[in-house]
Amino acid sequence: MGRKKIKPFFEGLEVIDAGSKGKAVAKAPDGRIVFIPNAVPGDVVSVQTTRKRKGFYEGFVTELLQPSGERVSPKCVHFETCGGCKWQHMDYAAQLKYKEKEVTQNLLRIGKVALPPVDPILPAPETYYYRNKMEFSFSNNRWLEPWEISEGTEIASRNALGLHIPGMWDKVLDLKECHLMAPPAEAIRRGIRAYAEQHGLAFFDPRKQEGFLRTLMIRNTLKGEVMVVLQFFEEQEGDREALLEYIRGQFPEVTSLYYVINPKKNDTLYDLDLVHFAGTPFITEEMEDLKFRITPKSFYQTNSRQAHALYKKVREYAGLTGKELVYDLYTGLGTIAQFIAGEAGKVVGIEAVPEAIEAARENAKMNGIGNVSFHSGDMKDLFREDFLRTHGVPEVVITDPPRDGMHKDVVAQLISISPERIVYVSCNSATQARDLALMNESYEVVRVQPVDMFPQTHHVENIVLLQRRTNP
């Protein structure tokens, strides 16, 4: 048997930067980069490595020798375990600085495009309690803290209602608190968990695929409307009815209550028929003079206040005069399409999810907007010549794709139809940069606007305005 290799230990490393996926960056004595979670640029730390590759190490902090001036005390007791708010130990001004830096570096290094001066990142008005949607998982095999294991004491309950441990599909952290969603979300979550324990309801076992309670979704609006969606693995009518009646009676703030029976091996709800149990079948978000009805399956930006700031910037970048034909790709509920419709000649929205398109049409009708149309289909298949012949060639295109960015066929079609301006909204500046590189011969980047939608995390939204080159 070969001797086990001893993983390097480094003492007194200075953390020099914030890297990808929220990890901090230091440099080892041999010149390799060291990626470290839960550290802040400016910290001096001791690091035990766990992985060695040709160009880098991965490790964890064993001792904080000197704290950074950008370090603050985390608000949540679950910091370092949950993984949901990886930057809450970093001053908010510093968070903004590193997010803006990440956007700039991705566009330069990956996109290799010429950039104008990047507009200062738009800070969020609220750094906690800003989310309008949270999804929690029930589990009968909760994550055990190291001290619980080392003490060897009997564990009274292994049940959990909380969030998955990063990288562990079958382990759920039993939350004592969460500071991401405004009241009454936390009271609802705690109340449902206590009721389930008190009445002996079976929490889901993801390995054995058995149990009763599976997931809990909570959504809210700035008006104070609240939606609750309970997902059960199997039907137990008496227990289900009793729990739903408990929620209705205990939490009158819940204005929309749904449930669904899901015996599948995954938690996704989009292919299931949800049952409306009580209240209204939707909750309503307002933005300026617009209203948007949100159902359990609807996509809506998870930071409502900052979404308004984002859309105002999109509208500004679009530079509309009231005459333009605008295409809104990946339109979702049609929020951007309707937000800009008053300044456009006509807006055409395209989205892959049929339910979202149906909701977009209903919202447009409710808002009295007559110059928008919405169409459902896979973007790379629908956004083609026959569609353009029917609906016209746009002068302006707004695109807000998922994290993977745009399909190469969609990028090719954009270049082919050659709109005057493209406003590209992205939640992943790396894939955005890749797409910009493909369009660089035909379009120049004239404005860049990072937007902080998710304080306490490393995630950042970015808007780029592309102008067609006069002599491509």
Q: What is the β-pairing status of strands 443-451 and 421-426?
A: unpaired
Choosing from 76, 85, 178, 427, which is the catalytic residue? 427
What percentage of the chain's residues is helix, strand, coil (to nearest 5)? 25, 30, 45
Q: What is the β-pairing status of strands 172-174 and 160-164?
A: antiparallel
Query: 408-417 and 429-439 helices cross at what angle (nearest 10)?
Result: 40
Q: On the CB side of 138, how many CA atoms lie within 13 Å of its CA?
A: 26
The two structure tokens encoding residue 48: 């035990």
- Are residues 176 and 185 in contact, defined by beta-carbon separation less than 8 angstroms? no
Query: Taking Cα atoms as reference points, which of 65, 67, 71 lies closest to residue 12?
Result: 65
In angstroms, the CA 176 to CA 164 distance is: 14
Residue 76 falls in the annotated catalytic set: no
Q: Say which residue the tokens 């209903």 belong to.
A: 362
In angstroms, the CA 310 to CA 460 distance is: 12
Instruction: Pick left, alpha or beta for residue 336 (phi over 0 → left; psi -120 to 50 → alpha; otherwise beta).
Output: alpha
In angstroms, the CA 369 to CA 397 distance is: 19
- Are residues 432 and 463 in contact, defined by beta-carbon separation less than 8 angstroms? no
- Are residues 170 and 206 in contact, defined by beta-carbon separation less than 8 angstroms? yes
387-395: long-range pairs with CB below 8 Å, 24+: 388/417, 391/348, 392/325, 392/346, 392/348, 393/325, 393/417, 393/419, 394/324, 394/325, 394/326, 394/327, 394/348, 394/419, 395/324, 395/325, 395/326, 395/419, 395/420, 395/421
In angstroms, the CA 248 to CA 230 distance is: 13
Instruction: Pick left, alpha or beta for residue 182 (phi over 0 → left; psi -120 to 50 → alpha; otherwise beta).
Output: beta
In angstroms, the CA 49 to CA 312 distance is: 45
Residue 281: cis peptide before it, omega within 30 degrees of 0? no
Catalytic positions are: 427
